Amino acid sequence: MPKQQRPYRVIISGGGTGGHIYPAVAIANQLRTVNPETEILFVGAQGRMEMTRVPEAGYKIMGLWISGLQRRLTLDNLSFPLKVLSSIRASHKIIKDFKPDAVVGVGGYASGPLLYAATARNIPALIQEQNSYAGITNKLLAKRVDKVCVAYPNMESFFPADKLVLTGNPVRSDIMALEGKREEAMQHFNLNPDKKTILVIGGSLGARTINQSMAAGLESIAKAGYQLIWQTGKAFYPQAQQLEVKYKAQGIGAHEFIKRMDLAYAAADVVISRAGALSISELCLAGKPAVLVPSPNVAEDHQTKNAMALVQQEAAILVKDAESAEKLISTTLQLLQDEKEQQRLHQNILKMARPNAAIDIVNELIKLIK
């Protein structure tokens, strides 16, 4: 890469869930890898999880007064136009003060006003869409930005074909380096290295159906001699903690949130997960046999579309949310008993990994700046 004259200045905007935040942080980390002097500012939505997660990753963030439109009539909806105008005005001020060379939108409420303001000032702009079904903010911004980086092929129905670049989803770099971490993982989660381990991840906010299915199946899991790393999310955690007391000796561990996801993947033999775009990208890179339970509470059922992209390649098993109570535990135990099937899923899911996603996105961004 040719030597640049001065450090770049980049604003990265978006958030709301881990599925938006972690790709954003991975892009920032790659920008710093290219040039450690790069100046990066995040812009998020006040009160959303990016306001804590981004500073934890070592980056500065500013918050906009913005939220989404509710599907039913609420007081929040009445204030929505005011929030949009206020956020666009605040975005113009942020851009004027920071003077970015380029802006990146990763989806979520805050990226709308920020990228609208940036493109109005002709600042190079790129959006990154994580899902196989495009989010509303990114669809609205697509006409205004210069490039659209996507994780799935055939996204022309959402975005202008001449702006599309297939990059995959950037994930945390530690997930690409699981080799040799199993022993550390077993110690970290206080597990028995001679037993097989299930990892349950319902997304950064938890997943009620998966949690209820796990709670009902703890007896079967313990009896079969398997261990469990169970990320419950905030709402279900108190209930899971009470259940954990009974099964702790058998290696059943509940966690509100897992910070060391690299160790969680390194410990896991089989993973139960929602089918959010980021979870799927991580599973592909980790090469883990997975049972996917797509969330039904998402726009256009995009998690089922994400999951089917894997199922069609025989790279994962699908259990519908509505059938989770009766099928999830038995399907998972069956998979744990079938070494051949685990190996087949492992090999097929690895083929779908895109380890260079962050590098490819940053290269596109640098082309825009130049």
pLDDT confidence band for 203 (50 / 70 / 90): low
Residue 158 has pLDDT above 70, yes or no: yes
pLDDT confidence band for 6 (50 / 70 / 90): confident
Determine the Cα–Cα distance for residues 171 and 26; give it in Å rounded to an integer.
Answer: 6
> Nearest 5°: phi and psi at 83?
-60, -40
Least confident residue range of 77-81, 120-124, 178-182, 339-343 = 77-81
**What rounded mean pLDDT belongs to the chain?**
92
pLDDT confidence of residue 206: 65
Partnered with residue 61 across adjacent β-strands are 42
Query: How many CB atoms within 10 Å of residue 238?
Result: 11
Q: Which residues are annotated as a binding site?
A: 17-19, 131, 172, 204, 258, 303
Partnered with residue 292 across adjacent β-strands are 273, 318
Task: Summarize the confidence of residues 36-44 as an average pLDDT.
Answer: 96
Q: Which residues are annotated as a binding site for UDP-N-acetyl-alpha-D-glucosamine?
A: 17-19, 131, 172, 204, 258, 303
Cβ-proximal residues to 105 (8 Å cutoff; 6+ apart), any chain = 13, 14, 111, 112, 114, 115, 125, 126, 127, 128, 137, 138, 141, 145
pLDDT confidence of residue 39: 97
Task: Summarize the confidence of residues 246-260 as an average pLDDT.
Answer: 92
If one compares 219 and 370, the residue with the highest pLDDT of the two is 219
Crossing angle, helix 277-286 and helix 18-34, to 10 degrees?
Answer: 60
CA dist list (Å): 316 to 169, 276, 307, 311: 18, 14, 8, 5
Look up residue 41 and give its two tokens.
């500012």
Residue 52 has pLDDT above 50, yes or no: yes
- Under DSSP, the state recorded for 275 is -
- Per the CB < 8 A criterion, the answer to whether 269 and 251 are in contact is no
Least confident residue range of 79-88, 129-138, 351-360 = 79-88
Q: What is the CATH number of domain 174-350?
A: 3.40.50.2000
pLDDT confidence of residue 78: 67
Q: What architecture (CATH level 2) is domain 9-169+355-369?
A: 3-Layer(aba) Sandwich (3.40)
Residue 71 has pLDDT above 60, yes or no: no
- Per the CB < 8 A criterion, the answer to whether 315 and 349 are in contact is yes
pLDDT confidence of residue 114: 97
Q: Are strands 270-273 and 147-150 parallel, antiparallel or unpaired?
A: unpaired
Q: Is 368 left (phi over 0), alpha (psi -120 to 50) or beta?
A: alpha
Q: Are strands 197-201 and 270-273 parallel, antiparallel or unpaired?
A: parallel
pLDDT confidence band for 1 (50 / 70 / 90): very low
Give DSSP secondary structure letters for 77-132. Answer: HHTHHHHHHHHHHHHHHHHHHH--SEEEE-SSTTHHHHHHHHHHTT--EEEEE-SS
Determine the Cα–Cα distance for residues 244 and 189; give it in Å rounded to an integer.
Answer: 13
Domain extents in the chain: 9-169+355-369, 174-350
Give DSSP secondary structure letters for 297-339. Answer: SSGGGHHHHHHHHHHTTT--EE--GGGHHHHHHHHHHHHHT-H
pLDDT confidence of residue 204: 60
pLDDT confidence of residue 140: 92
Residue 205 has pLDDT above 80, yes or no: no
- Per the CB < 8 A criterion, the answer to whether 295 and 319 are in contact is no
Task: Summarize the confidence of residues 8-22 as an average pLDDT.
Answer: 90
Determine the Cα–Cα distance for residues 31 and 277; give it in Å rounded to an integer.
Answer: 22
If one compares 230 and 15, the residue with the highest pLDDT of the two is 230
pLDDT confidence of residue 215: 96
Residue 5 has pLDDT above 70, yes or no: no
∠ at Cα 355 (163, 115), nearest 5°? 35
Cβ-proximal residues to 122 (8 Å cutoff; 6+ apart), any chain = none
pLDDT confidence band for 74 (50 / 70 / 90): low
Look up residue 30 and give its two tokens.
């790659």
**DSSP alpha helices (H): ranges in 207-260?**
208-223, 237-247
Establish whether domains 9-169+355-369 and 174-350 are of one fold: yes
